[in-house]
Structure 1
Amino acid sequence: MSQTGYQPPAPGSKIIIIGAGAFGLSTAYALSLKNKYDIWVFERQTIPSPDAASCDINKIMRMDYGDETIYMHMYMESLHIWEQWNKERALKGLGPVFHNVGNLMFSQNGKFSNYEEQSLKAIREAGYGHFIEEYRTPESIAERYPQFKEATKNGFDIAYLNKSGGWCDSSEACKHIHSKCVENGVHFVLGPEQGSFEKFLYDEKISTKITGIKTQDGKTHDADLVILATGSWTPSLLNLGDRLIATGQTVIQFKIPENLRKMFEGQPTWCADLSVTGYYGFAVNSEGKMKIGYHSSGYVNLREEDQVSVPRTQVTNPTDSIPIKALGEFRQFLSKFLPITTPMDITYARVCWYCDSVDGHYLIAPHPDFDNLIIASGDSGHGMKFIPNLGFKICHVIEGVDSEYSRAWAWRDMPKDTATYDGLRADSGPKIQLDINKQDQYTRMATKDDCKCARPSL
């Protein structure tokens, strides 16, 4: 779908992609398969980029999207590619990037939440009901998954398993698709100077026509099309109104003792009535690490001059963990859901930055105020699972193809006072988000001692 003023690139065009996270890498790969463009990717760090959301030990793979079936179908399409990637890696002696252990979706008080009900309806109507196993009693859950016995006693007493899901090793997936891009002739410019975007270049006669970019090393790079795929940094690089906001989401890890690892190895990922509590978690990985996250409207880090939220990460603030308020909330929730973690130290914690769109859909579209610029952002916390195939849908936008994807992600107004995010947040909707930079009793960063479990002492 071509917007007014936007012209798709001609064969032979030079395309610059700023950012090598999930969106940028997926776009570069899809474009490279067309074998008709000169593709350049600029990234200020290594791949995977240490402070990108895509750089992580794991991300949930799920087809459960309530009534947003566009993403359910994208997920089912992606599965075949994930499985192919596992085969490619096995031939090279590398471990899998997709672990098909299923998703265990909990609800409370004997009734599925609206989100789970909508998901089940959409999945069955699409013909995927064979992936679903329901557990209608706490006893049936505890018998099948004894590690969640205490959770069932505390109200999480109904669940369903979606056998199509699981988790991906997101950092390794980024490395894998990067290598495929390189094989296909994509040029990568990496580093804090040569790969770091500074500003756009404009036509001398047409002030709204972008002709390339300038990098931090002072060099200029001409392009026929520029794609801004900078994740949570996007709102701070270009005025997008209230359409996108960088939000900090909290995650923690435990190092599970050897004698307990068998209990958590190979288990499904789990969502603890996610649209109500916000908590989700993973199996133990090969290094004994178990990650748990909180999916919410998040924290912000407001820039003084314009109050735009800018990511604050461990790259620039290496001693950061998570706000003390979030740490206490994790402990409180886990004392009921997974009390076996109570005597364990939290061994790692970080704020993971989403680029949230107000309505939870991606924003992938030509910018209406500039020629030759496409925004590819608004991951809203659910982009990584689509890294194998999202780029093909982004190509619909780049090449002016009218499809359900280019329509769903088009440039649009998103009233901030009606925010829904992705419909799966514990506190979605209008909310005062805590400014992570204030360092008060709620947002000061937890110390290493704070992250240790409370132990009695004389």
Structure 2
Amino acid sequence: MPPTTLSKDSSIAIVGAGVFGLSTSLHLAAAGYKNVTVFDYQPYEQNAYSTTDGADAASADLNKVMRLSYGEEVLYQRLAFEALPIWEAWNRELAATPTHKLPKGLKQGDKIWNNCGFLRLSADGKLSEHEKSTLANLTADGLRDTQYIIGDPRDEARAKANGWHRKFDALKRKERGQNLVGVLDTTAGFVEASKACLWTLYLARKAGVKFVLGNEVGRVDCFLKERGRTVGIKTADGLEHKADLVILAAGGWTPSLFPPVAPLLETTAGSVIYIQLPPQHERPDLWERFSSEKFPVYAWGGWSKGSGIGGFPRTETGIMKIGFRGKKYTNYATIERDGQRHRLSVPKTRYTPETETRITKEAVDTLKAFIKENLPELTAFGISGCRNCWYTDSLDNSFLIDRVPSDPGLMICSGGSGHGFKFLPILGREVLAIIENPNNKNAYGRLWQWRTKDSGPKNGLEDGEAGPRVLNKQVMTTAKDFKFSEIEKARL
């Protein structure tokens, strides 16, 4: 069944207003497509992508890492580098836009991209092979001068001359007599995720993209089919929306909306904790120390490869966010689609029908051990909150952006695998190229094309429901787990 040749007047329906859907809609509009509509069950104009006001997509968050460090995965490294100037331009454009013209949740002067640096620390006292590959490939692309190896005399001299050396020991390991081995990446930092999504939605709407947002009007009930080909969607309010192309970009909800993709994609949860600093007037020292001017984004023992522990400078309200992706948890449930039942991993958040407000004790214990060793001054405050952040992992951690082989009216745009957010400004450019050249894909089109379990590395998808990562097999946290043992002993 050949793909339909699209014109600029073709109707395109995008399911999902997260990073993949927003970026795709923005680039379609910029390329002159006049009939692009984004559907999402979340009323993002009302909740402003706020996780405290109902938003539970992975794209809705305080912050996400912006990094170029990708080991041997040079295509991702280069795409991230291409995104950097756009992040910079967005900061300037937002600074020049009056607050009254911006959507709820944004104000003039907000900074959505912060180049605070990324401290990649070794947990075993030596640079990993992944780190060495990262340095080699950044060097090959002429970016070696942006990287500072801690302990390298020449790099330390350069860092001191450029003012970056103050962030080498952000965790004060050297002060405590611990080893300090790693790399400071000065190209990197973080983006304010929810604000970045709001800004992109604003830009897309200005460019002519239509948004249908809300629990009934934007929630997909089913796909419309004609002779086996997708020709649109039906929403929960009963309305049918015909489309020449439907793009499914629903993040963690993608497999449950389209179960045939389950062999390629699996919904998994990363674990996040929050530590609230005391008010600034009480502890100005901590507010200054953990500000982005003084404190970088950091990874402990590997971010994409390794222990999966990392965190951020404090937010403007004094929240320290620390995440754990060393184990990606699943949540299996029975899903009915097209008269058939499927056992799939699905998101389970504080807002889903079967709610979950806790994370696993394993994740909390891992993060507490890290904090005790590396940020002991935070133990006095305990953990103030937590979140399961539901991504969609692909079988090899690469995105899946391709038409369904048996249904060219439906395109999957998902598989962010916990590292997609940094590409928000530019991902849609590559999605557009795949849409317009389905039979002549470029390097990204080939990297992200439809594939099988047997065609590449595994990412735990082969475990299935019998595997060890299933949420209902875990011990979940209690309020007691949010305290640190040193405090409990002091109170006895």
TM-score with structure 2 length normalisation? 0.84
Within 5 Å, which residues of 2 pair with 1:201-350? 201-203=224-226, 206=227, 208-238=228-258, 239-257=260-278, 258=280, 259=283, 260-266=286-292, 267-274=295-302, 275-304=305-334, 306-316=342-352, 320-350=357-387
Matched AA of 2:323 = G
CA contact (8 A) 1:31 1:395 kept: yes
Name the CA shift for 1:429/1:121 in 2 (closer, same or farther; >3 Å).
farther
Paired residues, what number?
441
2:422 is aligned, of 365, 385, 393, to 385
SS of 2:272's equivalent? strand
Deviation at residue 450 of structure 1 after TM alignment: 3.1
Q: What is the match of residue 425 of structure 1?
A: none
Task: State the alpha-carbon separation in 2 of the partners of residues 299 and 151 from structure 1.
Answer: 34
Matched AA of 2:288 = K
SS of 2:416's equivalent? coil
Deviation at residue 36 of structure 1 after TM alignment: 2.9
Task: State the alpha-carbon separation in 1 of the partners of residues 263 and 176 from structure 2.
Answer: 43
Deviation at residue 261 of structure 1 after TM alignment: 1.5
Deviation at residue 210 of structure 1 after TM alignment: 1.1
Deviation at residue 63 of structure 1 after TM alignment: 0.1
SS of 2:204's equivalent? helix
Task: State the alpha-carbon separation in 1 of the partners of residues 376 and 455 from structure 2.
Answer: 38
SS of 1:381's equivalent? coil
SS of 2:343's equivalent? coil
Does residue 435 of the first structure (1) align with residue 467 of the second (2)? no
C-alpha offsets along residues 377-396 of structure 1, whole Å, 9 cap, x if unaligned? Answer: 00011111110000011101
CA contact (8 A) 1:23 1:377 kept: yes
Deviation at residue 76 of structure 1 after TM alignment: 0.9
Gaps of 5+ in 2: 50-54, 98-107, 157-163, 335-340
Q: What is the match of residue 193 of structure 1?
A: 216
Deviation at residue 107 of structure 1 after TM alignment: 1.3
CA contact (8 A) 1:311 1:353 kept: yes
Q: What is the match of residue 100 of structure 2?
A: none
Deviation at residue 153 of structure 1 after TM alignment: 5.6
Deviation at residue 398 of structure 1 after TM alignment: 1.1
SS of 1:252's equivalent? strand
Does residue 457 of the first structure (1) align with residue 491 of the second (2)? yes
**RMSD over aligned Cα atoms:** 2.4
Task: State the alpha-carbon separation in 2 of the partners of residues 198 and 395 from structure 1.
Answer: 26
Q: What is the match of residue 69 of structure 1?
A: 74
1:405 is aligned, of 431, 439, 444, to 444
CA contact (8 A) 2:167 2:296 kept: no
CA contact (8 A) 1:435 1:443 kept: no
Task: State the alpha-carbon separation in 2 of the partners of residues 429 and 295 from structure 1.
Answer: 18
1:85 is aligned, of 83, 90, 109, to 90
Matched AA of 1:411 = W
CA contact (8 A) 1:268 1:283 kept: yes
Q: What is the match of residue 18 of structure 1?
A: 15
Matched AA of 1:276 = G
SS of 2:190's equivalent? strand
Q: What is the match of residue 45 of structure 1?
A: 42
Does residue 167 of the first structure (1) align with residue 190 of the second (2)? yes
C-alpha offsets along residues 273-305 of structure 1, whole Å, 9 cap, x if unaligned? Answer: 223321011011211111110123411100145
CA contact (8 A) 1:256 1:288 kept: yes
Deviation at residue 236 of structure 1 after TM alignment: 1.3
Deviation at residue 146 of structure 1 after TM alignment: 4.7
C-alpha offsets along residues 212-269 of structure 1, whole Å, 9 cap, x if unaligned? Answer: 1100011111111100000011111111141100001101111123321211112110
CA contact (8 A) 1:41 1:186 kept: yes
Task: State the alpha-carbon separation in 2 of the partners of residues 377 and 156 from structure 1.
Answer: 39
What stretches of structure 1 move > 4 A for 4+ residues in a row?
A: 140-147, 151-156, 428-431
Q: What is the match of residue 183 of structure 1?
A: 206
Q: What is the match of residue 361 of structure 1?
A: 398
Q: What is the match of residue 121 of structure 1?
A: 136
Task: State the alpha-carbon separation in 1 of the partners of residues 219 and 166 from structure 2.
Answer: 53
CA contact (8 A) 1:358 1:416 kept: no
C-alpha offsets along residues 172-191 of structure 1, whole Å, 9 cap, x if unaligned? Answer: 00000000111111111011
Task: State the alpha-carbon separation in 2 of the partners of residues 357 and 291 from structure 1.
Answer: 25
CA contact (8 A) 1:110 1:137 kept: no
Gaps of 5+ in 1: 422-427
CA contact (8 A) 1:107 1:272 kept: yes
Deviation at residue 143 of structure 1 after TM alignment: 6.9
CA contact (8 A) 1:358 1:415 kept: no
Task: State the alpha-carbon separation in 2 of the partners of residues 16 and 162 from structure 1.
Answer: 39
SS of 1:150's equivalent? coil
Q: Alignment identity in percent?
A: 34
SS of 2:273's equivalent? strand
Name the CA shift for 1:67/1:32 in 2 (closer, same or farther; >3 Å).
same
Matched AA of 1:255 = Q
Range moving further from structure 2, 314-323 or 406-415: 314-323
C-alpha offsets along residues 132-167 of structure 1, whole Å, 9 cap, x if unaligned? Answer: 1111289x7997545422378686521111100000
Within 5 Å, which residues of 2 pair with 1:123-162? 123-136=138-151, 144-150=167-173, 157-162=180-185
1:94 is aligned, of 96, 101, 109, to 109
SS of 2:384's equivalent? strand
